A and B are shown apart, each in its own frame.
Chain A
Amino acid sequence: MKLVPFFDADWDRFVAFAAGNIGNSPPVDRRFFEHFFRSDESGIWSGRILESDDGDFEGVAFLIEVPAKFGDAPAQIAWPSVLFASPKAQAVGGGAQLAFWYYRNLPFVPSIGGTVKGNMIKDRLSLRTEGIDLERFILVLSPRAAELAPPECRQAVTDGVYAGGGSAAPGLRATWSDGIPADYEHVWRNFRRKFMFTTERSPAYLRWRYVDAPLLSYKFLAVHDDRGLVGLAVTRVQKTPAGPVCRIVDFVCEPDRAVEAWRAVVGELAEEDFLFADFFVVGTAFHTALAEASFHRCDGKVGIGGLPNLLSPPEHRDWNYTFHVGGTVAMRDHSWRRPDAVYFTKGDSDRDWPTMHDIASMKNG
């Protein structure tokens, strides 16, 4: 087996391989794959093909490469996404060869959550840091949310419904939009200074990641005061049999106004018909503000944490909240390993990608 670059011309070979090995997660849609995995106009994609010595397509790894900051320096991080090897390749360690390639050749390889089996590899090729896991915060907005929870969690969900209070500061207003506010960049520049290691959430990044993303539909909830933008939440609505759920997949605000900004967001969400809203975050940047804005920090799948993360369709499959970082630089320079130094959200990586259920829902309006 050998690893070779993936070029535009390999798409048809990939589709044939995917039909027998991948299924529909993520959806094998060329526009979607090009958007996230074709890193530039050169025709080379961000990944590798695993080929047999005869040139047969036996596996593939795709990574989402995005700009980041690491200390004061610009950096490139690569989120492993698609990783599949044929049974023939698996039998001779082909999947391991693909993982070994990106962990040992790229500077920063973070990953969020996943399965127990996947974590066995991550634990050996990357670093997990105490106090830096993925944390889930939930704002319960309707007692109907309990319908999505397992029986033993329903009372906690009902008891945890947002009761109002902690309202936004006078003069703040939250408004929905499909685009990025014109004054966003200023807020981002202030926000990014707080962190040693985070995705460069520039206007260009947000446009690429959220506005222009195929098969995904996001809405922005902007918090303004009379002087301009204070905070910006990026949201995606998921429909469930019990009602809609608001997933907050990204958030940026003026560093000293986090509580106000989150409260303004909560005030607006409470006006809508959502069952609950949630926000996944790596790093402690918003722990206090989220608590003050009435979000519940969920520790595992008990109580309110029983509300499923996987909503399309709702399911309680085992899914862990780990955060790992590997890569040549991250393994050598550990300065990022502080809970207040990092900031990543569910919008980073592929944890917010659509299932076939989502796509069918979109088609059906």
Chain B
Amino acid sequence: MNPVETSMTPEIKQALRKFLAENSDDGAANITDETNLFESGILDSFKILTTVLFIEETYAISLDFEELNESNFHSIDAMADFIRTRL
């Protein structure tokens, strides 16, 4: 991972946290970067779609259906790692 990519991580995480807080029920306000978003009910089939579209629009990337999986989306950490690999 190059230094530029690494330096973007806090910004990505902050953007994801803000998006989830604005688009989820109250529970999203207290999540950490490691919180399992599926187990905590913050992401479901519909919310994961809105999150994917937010990521595509914000970072100008196009996701494949195979990338829409639990390992890439289970936490803010996982999503940020995944986004970084696509930038």
* Chain A residues with a Cβ under 8 A of chain B: 1-3, 85, 90-97, 99-101, 104-105, 117, 120-121, 124-125
Contact = CB atoms under 8 A, between A and B. Distances in A.
Q: What's the dominant secondary structure at chain A's contact region? A: helix
A117 B46 CA distance: 9
Contact of A93 (B44, B64, B66): B44
Given A2-B66, A100-B68, A94 B45 contact: yes
20 contacts: A1-B69, A3-B66, A90-B45, A91-B39, A92-B70, A93-B73, A95-B45, A96-B45, A96-B48, A96-B49, A97-B68, A99-B45, A99-B49, A100-B52, A100-B65, A104-B64, A105-B65, A120-B46, A121-B49, A125-B49
A293 to B, nearest CB: 42
Nearest to A105: B65
Interface of B: 38-39, 43-46, 48-50, 52-53, 63-66, 68-70, 73-74
Please name the 8 residue pairs, one residue from A and one from B, whose CB atoms are nearest each other, closest first.
A93-B48, A95-B45, A101-B65, A96-B45, A92-B70, A100-B65, A96-B49, A96-B48
Contacts of B69: 1-2, 92-93, 97
Q: What's the dominant secondary structure at chain B's contact region? A: helix
A96 B38 contact: no
B46 A91 contact: no
A120 B45 CA distance: 11
B43 A93 contact: yes
Contacts of A125: 49
Contacts of A105: 65
A93 B50 contact: no
A324 B68 CA distance: 23
Contacts of B45: 85, 90, 93-96, 99, 121
